[in-house]
Structure 1
């Protein structure tokens, strides 16, 4: 058995992905075979080597170039902006994994701003049944009233069941059998839903009723409102409070522990040291900026809630 794990990155995210990959390799069982794929459109040869060097005899690191044609319908339009201030195609790559890798009936996807703190095979071995995927409730938004309102009123979903897409155990066979990509493209091109979290909103909407909610230790996110999870299996530095930009971030020790074992440690420390208070203040404002969409999208006649009154969007 091979445990397939996927990341999607742009070249400038390599150093953070290296910290995540290093932690994954460190906690991988020597009795299990793993293949880690990096999906990208712009990885440099140097960064391909940097990531390859972190593999070992049972963790094989591979690379897959995402073809422009594949993602052509997903354009650089306002509704696809991540965090309201920039567009990156890489957030959508995860949706194509089941179609691109038909040799797998099951796969794990994780974001690059993560640290793995347990054997990822344990996550892979979760029994999904007929569910489309397994994921964890998005704990980072439960204390953000505007986001909770957006999930209730714009998405017409239960905020307690709204999952974070930074860690997915994908039932790839179910994705293919249910023609997920065809339905996704149809919704995308018909409605251009103006989303706060584009790929995540589509997964929540299309998977509604077919999502297995996993133990929160597999997507532990820094949160100023809650105590840290005692034994996090995977830490996800979601939203803006990255340990390479802020000091005192919950779970930051796990990041720096792994970073020290990579060639990027000095570069990451310098990034933290050189990040200015003005930049940190701007990052704090980005969340508010992101949430400005809520008022506008609530009135949109083609928002998720209104479209769901007229037709089914879930698979």
Structure 2
């Protein structure tokens, strides 16, 4: 972000509108504290999975359910312990020492501090072609490594024994702990990568999972798959769902029809559907945090436009002219 000029940055709490029947069928019953006998959820996904390699996938969507990082996001976006059961931060805010809990991969092997070291170095290595490698900016030497100016071995991470993972930053990062909830910063098993070689992450069976679920039924190209409970997960007692069935549907018209046919337990509504469905007992909204930005084209072929956009005062004027509430409501879809 710091290398790009931004026209407008909009940070908002968007109200996502959905129809949800899962509360009636699969989640905790009200009042008696018991759970429904069928702990299976049927959901839709807007696009096919392009990859399940956390180093270079183009989007993470719901993969936080099959991969876990150092922290998790809890109620109201609070940070709760994930694979790191505790953390110590030096007073200068630049050194984090994470104590990795006694956790296992989905095959029963240990998740270690070295798995984090390997994962982070692998992601910032230019040959990996991770489009999110820039998120490591601020970790010691990360920018230089991504730019190909330093070796990945110089990244500010190290393991001390099986359970101690140490991260050194160039400078304090106020949002660092929240960033550590992102699956990108989770562990990767070097043994698994070497075992499967070019097959690694190309199908569901060529992957080890660290989260509450593991992926099944994904062949690398199909439009349906399942998350099944990972019985090796360290906090498996808190996981009541046994299975989540996913099917790809790009159309909200299709997903609404499937919901009404009781083939989906939840569907997100497009803005034009809200008016008709707002009175439904299944209609609900929930907050969803999103950041959107517009970027100037400084290389516009029109010389007049190019000159104008390279004028800071003109950019400031454009920014001041934007009604951010209207932008959020009509463009982002709040």
TM-score (norm 1): 0.27
Structure with more strand by fraction: 2
Question: Which structure has the bigger radius of gyration?
Answer: 2
Q: Which has the higher helix share?
A: 1
